[in-house]
Amino acid sequence: MKSKISAKELMDSWKKALAFWGYPAIEAEHYTSKSAAKKSMGDDIAHFDFAMQRARINIPKLEERLGIDCLEAVDKHEIGHYTFCPFDLKNCILMIQGAQAVVQDYKKAMYIENVVADIMLNTHMVNKGDSSISTVYQRMGKTDDALWTLIMRSCELLWKIPSQTLAKRNKEVENDAHQIAQIIGHSMYVPAQWQSATAQCAQLLSKYELNPNDKSREVDSHKPSDFVAGTDMYSMAKSLAGISKNLSHGDFTAIAAGTEMCTKEKAAQLYHIDVARRYAIQPPTTILPLHSDSMASPREWSAEDDVEKLDIAYSLQQGILIPGDTTYRWHADDNPTIPTKTYRDLLIVLDSSASMPDPSDTLSVPVVSSLALSRSAHQRGSRVAAISFSHGWKSCEYTHHDKETDEILLSYLNGGTIIPAQAIRDITKSHHYPQHIVIITDAAIGNLEQDKELLAEARSYAQGGTIFLYGTTLSTTHSTLESIGYTIRPATTEKDLLHLSTQLSADLYGRE
């Protein structure tokens, strides 16, 4: 059975909702068939798919519970989740964490985040001059349930509408409702305060019986996994940029698993990638060296251009090489022919033995340092090869892509410490470009004496090598490695390692 509302009426409602929010680039799916709506949305009235930037409205359920004249208000509500609150995955996670700190139950924390996000969003709609959302909640009806009465009374106060418009009179909730209205009124336009505001609201809401499974009075609901398409780690990392400044490694991995956004292991990888981003050297706008003070900018390179002007390294960063589409040269107005400076490629060798920190359990500064070095090189157009070693080892060849090096550097092999000297020598010998070796280890290397000649050969082929001795002081290992040509940097603390590795990134990739 299908709703009788016409396609034109659906489109007109959607256009008005888009206009209200400034025409964001999102689409709508209005399900008019009960079976299609049930299959896609269950009994929900509405849902916003953040990953696909698409609102979904269950028209039969909307007609049944609210009336079709509420469609425009519901359309606006859905768009508002995308354009106002929670807006993105990072805000959603932080708001949930605010509630979780209080209730210690992820289902209840997600329920509270939905409640707070709805109140903020709906209040913003009212403040923008559209009070139609009030009709939606009036249609849901008043109840004796104290929690719902508290929520609706808070809305009455925020929307400046008469008492008992949305909720029955209940003196017991009045003080809490005023507090919630005050908290949200003071914080809703300051996203940096949303986490603490949700925590404060959770203190008040948790005094009442919370039933996250009761969907009877929800317009919609959302969860962290709605923000990400599939399981692509790098789209998630982009959405979570900066999360490590707000949450500890333990809090983030717990909330990611607790809300079923992803596994704890994957969350740990995301966290390390986010921290590493802060320590990677960001290249300045390219300046053509020696003969020009003009800023250089990438321009498309076509098959008709001089092949020597093609910057293959930069072009590969943009994707598959397609002449005239993803191929680039550097251009400056007063001297467009001089190429940019060439930077060394980088071989990163990371100790992931049992004596090194496990990135799944804690923030591993050796892993952060290696990821930051890799990104510094890639952002300069240089290639990176990576080896993770313990009793065994795994590696990737020289590449321009973070994904390939990250897979190695985020591995934890958890065994003894046998450095793969032969593999290091073979990679450097077969790579006929300027390169630099970086080894990060705690120096408890079981095979150093027998394989030091291979490491010396690798240093000779690379013509540059630095070893960070993590958590150690001067030792016989130090003198042995120094004698075969490596620059040794003892890093007795995590702070030392971050400082020294950032300094090396700057030396290799931070200067024109």
> Which tens digit of pLDDT belongs to each residue from 436-471?
999 999 877 778 788 889 999 999 999 999 999 888
Average pLDDT over residues 382-396: 96
Look at 168-172, 257-261, 444-448 and tell me which has the smallest mean pLDDT. 444-448
What's the pLDDT score for residue 334? 44
Average pLDDT over residues 240-254: 96
Write out the E strands in 309-382: 328-331, 345-351
> Which tens digit of pLDDT belongs to each residue from 96-126?
999 999 999 999 999 999 999 999 999 999 9
What's the pLDDT score for residue 286? 46
What's the pLDDT score for residue 74? 97
What's the pLDDT score for residue 421? 94
Contacts of 220 (CB under 8 A, 6+ apart): 44, 45, 46, 47, 48, 77, 78, 81
Average pLDDT over residues 52-69: 93
> Which tens digit of pLDDT belongs to each residue from 407-416?
999 999 998 8
Whether the CB-CB separation of 70 and 82 falls below 8 Å is answered with no
Task: Evaluate if residue 95 carries a pLDDT over 80.
Answer: yes
Average pLDDT over residues 41-70: 92
Look at 186-195, 298-307, 366-375, 501-510 and tell me which has the smallest mean pLDDT. 298-307
Contacts of 237 (CB under 8 A, 6+ apart): 270, 273, 274
What's the pLDDT score for residue 51? 86
Contacts of 476 (CB under 8 A, 6+ apart): none
87-108 as b/e, with b when 16 or more CB fall inside 10 Å? Answer: bbbbbbbbbbbbbbbbbebbeb
Whether the CB-CB separation of 417 and 351 falls below 8 Å is answered with yes
Mean pLDDT taken over the chain:
89
- pTM, two decimals, is 0.84
What's the pLDDT score for residue 290? 40
> Which tens digit of pLDDT belongs to each residue from 27-55?
999 999 999 999 988 889 999 998 888 99
Q: Which residues pair with 441 in a beta bridge?
A: 469
What's the pLDDT score for residue 293? 43
Task: Evaluate if residue 417 carries a pLDDT over 90.
Answer: no
Number of CB atoms found within 10 A of residue 391's CB: 13
Average pLDDT over residues 390-406: 95
Task: Evaluate if residue 370 carries a pLDDT over 50.
Answer: yes
Average pLDDT over residues 191-220: 93
**DSSP secondary structure code for residue 21 in this structure:** T
What's the pLDDT score for residue 336? 43
